[in-house]
Structures are given as C-alpha cells and as structure tokens.
Amino acid sequence: MTETIVLARDYPSVWSRPVISAIDTRIFRLRYFQRCLACGFCQDQCCRHGVDIDTENAERLLALGDDFRSYVGVPASEWFSGPAVADEEFPSGAHLRTRTREGYCVFHDSGGRGCKIHAWSLRNGVDYHALKPMVSALFPLTFESAVLMPSNEVLEGSLVCADEGSTLYDGVRDELIWFFGCELVRELDTLQTDLR
C-alpha cells in the first residue's frame, strides 16, 4: 500500500535544493541488502547505468585535477553526457548524466567494486558527499516533486538486493542526516515508530 505523508515542515538540503516536504511510507517497509560492498551476488548491478549529477557537482569533479583523472582512467571529456537538463530539484537547477562505458558508469571501479568517486574521496581524506552524486549517495531512496521515496529500481523490482536486510530508510538514514539534517531524521524516526 502506498501512502504519502506530508511532513511537519519543508526540509531543504544543505545546498537549499532539493527540498523534502513529504514521504512515501514504503521507505519504512521495503528492504534491501545495505552492505553493498559485502554483496557477492549482484556484480555492482546498480552501477550499470549512468546517474543524474548536479551540474555544479560535475564541475567540482572536473576541477579535481590530474590525480583524480588518472584514478578514474577515463578521459574527462567522456564523463558526462549533455546538454544539461533543467531540473529545479537539483542544487544548481540542472543536471547532467554520467556516461556508461563497457556496461557500467564511467566512475565504476572496473578492477574492483563500487564507485571510484567514493573510493578516491576516502583515500584522499575528502568528504565524498561533496563529490559523489547525491542521487547515488541516497540510493535506494530518491526524491521527486519534494517527496522522499523508493528509487524506481526498487519499485519496478529490478534491484537484485531487494527484499532482505535493512529498510530503505534505515539503510540511508545517515545520508539523510548529512544532506537534510537531524530534524528531518527525528521526524522520520517518529513516523517510522508510529507506523509499525
């Protein structure tokens, strides 16, 4: 059963946009295998597609220099598809899409697992939240028309690791704190308890 609940107030992200005003209650019921890199069965399926990335986020990646470019191993000219798409829910008001290469996002670690943006950030003492696309950090949650909701992959049943493990909300709770603040999470914690 799908139910949308309007929150007590609007919760803007650390960049002012997106703003979360409501939630789809399925975030408290649907489950997935949260420990992504401990998974031995998906072959990084969620990295097989490009991801929407805020245009300013893309510019931050392009400005990182030769060390990051060398680590990615793909020319920067091949990182994003364009032109930018206007989207008021993204911090800059527009997004690009990361390209795919050999069946995976260009930022996928083809020699290992996971996201090279995330791995490079950890290796270099940089907070990955400033560099990794917000959509990736919040996955398998997403936002649409100010509603925090399950990602399409969860809803359509194509997410290989669905149905066991943490709830979508519990798995992404710390990311929500970083992007939207403790007050949002306090309200969501209360809603989750009330809906049990």
Q: What is the pLDDT along the chain (196 residues), one digit of tens a residue?
A: 679 999 999 999 999 999 999 999 999 998 866 555 445 555 656 657 889 999 999 999 999 999 999 999 999 999 999 899 999 999 999 999 999 998 888 999 887 777 999 999 999 999 999 999 999 999 899 999 999 999 888 778 755 546 677 899 999 999 999 999 999 999 999 999 999 8
Could you tell me the residue range of the domain that residue 116 belongs to? Answer: 4-195
Structure tokens at 177: 């704190």
Per the structure block, which two tokens stand in for 162?
Answer: 């669905």
Counting the structural domains of the chain, the total is 1
The C-alpha atoms of residue 181 and residue 109 are separated, in whole angstroms, by 30
The pTM assigned to this predicted structure is: 0.91
Cα separation, 107 vs 5, in Å, equals 35
Q: Which residues pair with 142 in a beta bridge?
A: 149
Residue 142 per-residue DSSP state: E
Residue type at 82 in one-letter notation: G
Please state, in angstroms and rounded to a whole number, the distance separating the CA atoms of residues 187 and 11.
Answer: 11
